[in-house]
């Protein structure tokens, strides 16, 4: 048995980095050894709080740390591409927060760099690795829904208007689509693959980034997805996959609720309960380590080509709603 332990380095010390460090501590085969921050104070504070012994005052120093096997990139979205590239070029395995990058071009560059170096790379779309999502995939694979016709997903959260928050800041990739809509687009992609046609609408927040965005995605075989997201209201945060034999509903919030309801065409209801979760960020880390143990450079649960395709769908939605970020 391969009982290797993997040594993690966390790049960026914000909210999600703290949640990830907390959940990582629950995995016996993972060890948090290092943290990298833009500032010595940030590295020191985070290192002390989560027991990371190596506290680097730059991202460059973190990726150069020989004691680090895997780097987890947890900066705001525009920082993902440069930081992940640094880590890839240093030969590290890399897990990159969602959205993987700001756009598909950046995503393609990271994928090409990782493939050129045969280094592991994965998008940290943590929900993909939750037990209830695995159950969704199993039900689809066994044909429990018949032919899927429609996927409907809504992801809305209320955020206070705050010009200093990265969520509203265009220079930090703010807006509903990249932060929240990504969960809906990724879910639709998991079920239906790449759309052949996209129709999008949006209304802006007070800073000009998107506040409420909706899209219709058309797929081959007469299949549709409806995705809608807002950062101005708490949504139902449910998802439904509607097939010719049955529909499968993921309860609120669809990306972390353990409950799934399968309703047959004749209204026979079956309820599935996955193990209850608190945050569930460790499952993606477990997947990284499983892949590394098996000598894989990417995960078949969140393949890199699919990550690029998801970013291309997001690009098309943004093109239609007229939302560009600095440098685009
Ligand atoms: N998986 C999830 O559920 C989830 C949830 C929330 C966010 N996220 C994703 O994780 C990423 C980070 O989100 P967050 O909410 O953790 O953000 P955050 O609290 O603002 O933290 C981001 C961290 O990145 C570093 N950073 C580098 N450049 C920065 C810049 N120009 N401005 C501000 N911080 C900068 C900072 O750490 P140092 O100063 O120490 O370098 C900062 O603490 C986003 O891409 C987001 O989409 C994922």
Q: Where are the domains of the chain?
A: 6-127, 131-276
Atom of ligand 1 nearest to the CA of 42: 40
Q: In what order do the strands lie in the sheet with 121-124?
A: 54-56, 30-36, 6-11, 70-73, 93-97, 121-124
d(CA 277, CA 245): 30
**Which pLDDT score is estimated for 3?**
84
The answer for residues whose C-beta is within 8 angstroms of residue 63's C-beta and 6 or more apart is: 9, 11, 36, 71, 86, 87, 89, 90, 92
- Which CATH superfamily groups domain 131-276? Dihydrodipicolinate Reductase; domain 2 (3.30.360.10)
Q: How many CB atoms lie within 10 A of CB 289?
A: 21
**Which pLDDT score is estimated for 179?**
98
What's the pLDDT band for 145 if we cut at 50, 70, 90?
very high
Atom of ligand 1 nearest to the CA of 98: 47
d(CA 181, CA 215): 10
What's the pLDDT band for 271 if we cut at 50, 70, 90?
very high
Residue 114 has pLDDT above 80, yes or no: yes
Nearest CA residue ID for atom 36, ligand 1: 12
Nearest CA residue ID for atom 43, ligand 1: 14
User: Over the stretch 210-221, which tens digit does the pLDDT of each residue have?
Assistant: 999 999 999 999
User: Over the stretch 35-61, which tens digit does the pLDDT of each residue have?
Assistant: 999 999 999 999 999 999 999 999 999
Q: Which protein residues touch ligand 1 with a CB less than 6 Å away?
A: 12-17, 37-39, 42, 74-77, 79, 97-98, 126, 166, 172, 179
Residue 278 has pLDDT above 80, yes or no: no
d(CA 289, CA 273): 26
Long-range contacts of 49-56 (CB under 8 A, 24+ apart): 49/18, 49/21, 50/10, 50/18, 50/21, 50/22, 50/25, 52/9, 52/10, 52/21, 54/9
User: Over the stretch 219-253, which tens digit does the pLDDT of each residue have?
Assistant: 999 999 999 999 999 999 999 999 999 999 999 99
Nearest CA residue ID for atom 4, ligand 1: 16
Residue 276 has pLDDT above 90, yes or no: no
What's the pLDDT band for 73 if we cut at 50, 70, 90?
very high
**Which pLDDT score is estimated for 277?**
76
User: Over the stretch 151-201, which tens digit does the pLDDT of each residue have?
Assistant: 999 999 999 999 999 999 999 999 999 999 999 999 999 999 999 999 999
Residue 322 has pLDDT above 80, yes or no: yes
* Mean pLDDT, rounded, of the chain: 97
Report the SS3 class of residue 181.
Answer: helix
Helices and strands, number each (H, E), in the chain? 10, 14
Interval between CA 287 and ligand 1 midpoint (Å)? 22
The answer for residues whose C-beta is within 8 angstroms of residue 185's C-beta and 6 or more apart is: 215, 227, 310, 313, 314, 317
| pTM tops 0.85, yes or no | yes
Interval between CA 247 and ligand 1 midpoint (Å)? 36
Strands (E), the chain: 6-11, 30-36, 54-56, 70-73, 93-97, 121-124, 148-156, 197-204, 210-219, 223-230, 239-243, 246-250, 259-264, 269-273
**Which pLDDT score is estimated for 121?**
98
Express the helix, strand and coil content of the chain in percent, nearest 5 each: 35, 25, 35
Interval between CA 271 and ligand 1 midpoint (Å)? 36
- Which CATH superfamily groups domain 6-127? NAD(P)-binding Rossmann-like Domain (3.40.50.720)
Nearest CA residue ID for atom 44, ligand 1: 76
Q: In Å, what is the CA distance from 203 to each residue of 145, 206, 317, 326?
A: 34, 10, 12, 19
Interval between CA 219 and ligand 1 midpoint (Å)? 33
Interval between CA 97 and ligand 1 midpoint (Å)? 9
């Amino acid at each position: 048995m391969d009982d290797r332990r993997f040594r993690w380095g966390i790049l960026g010390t914000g909210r999600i980095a703290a949640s990830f460090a907390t959940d990582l501590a629950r995995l016996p085969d993972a060890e948090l050894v290092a943290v990298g921050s833009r500032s010595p104070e940030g590295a020191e504070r985070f290192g002390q709080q989560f027991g990371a012994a190596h506290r680097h005052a730059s991202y460059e120093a973190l990726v150069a740390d020989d004691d680090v096997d895997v780097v987890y990139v947890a900066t705001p979205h525009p920082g993902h591409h440069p930081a992940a590239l640094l880590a890839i070029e240093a030969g590290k395995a890399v897990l990159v927060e969602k959205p993987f990058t700001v756009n598909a071009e950046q995503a393609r560059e990271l994928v090409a760099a990782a493939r050129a170096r045969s280094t592991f790379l994965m998008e940290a779309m943590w929900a993909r690795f939750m037990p209830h999502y695995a159950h969704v995939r199993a039900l689809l694979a066994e044909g429990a829904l018949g032919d899927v016709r429609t996927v409907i997903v809504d992801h809305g959260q209320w955020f206070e208007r705050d010009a200093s928050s990265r969520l509203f800041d265009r220079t930090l990739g703010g807006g509903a689509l990249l932060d929240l809509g990504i969960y809906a687009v990724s879910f639709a992609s998991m079920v239906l693959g790449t759309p052949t046609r996209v129709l999008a609408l949006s209304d802006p927040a007070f800073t000009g980034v998107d506040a409420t965005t909706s899209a219709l995605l058309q797929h081959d075989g007469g299949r549709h997805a409806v995705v809608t997201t807002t950062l101005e209201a708490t949504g139902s945060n449910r998802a439904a996959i509607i097939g010719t034999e049955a529909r499968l509903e993921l309860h609120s919030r669809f990306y972390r609720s353990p409950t799934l309801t399968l309703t047959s065409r004749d209204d026979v209801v079956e309820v599935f309960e996955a193990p209850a979760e608190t945050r569930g960020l460790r499952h993606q880390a477990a997947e990284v380590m499983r892949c590394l143990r098996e000598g894989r450079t990417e995960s078949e649960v969140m393949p890199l080509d699919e990550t690029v395709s998801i970013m291309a769908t997001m690009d098309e939605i943004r093109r239609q709603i007229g939302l560009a970020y600095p440098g685009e």
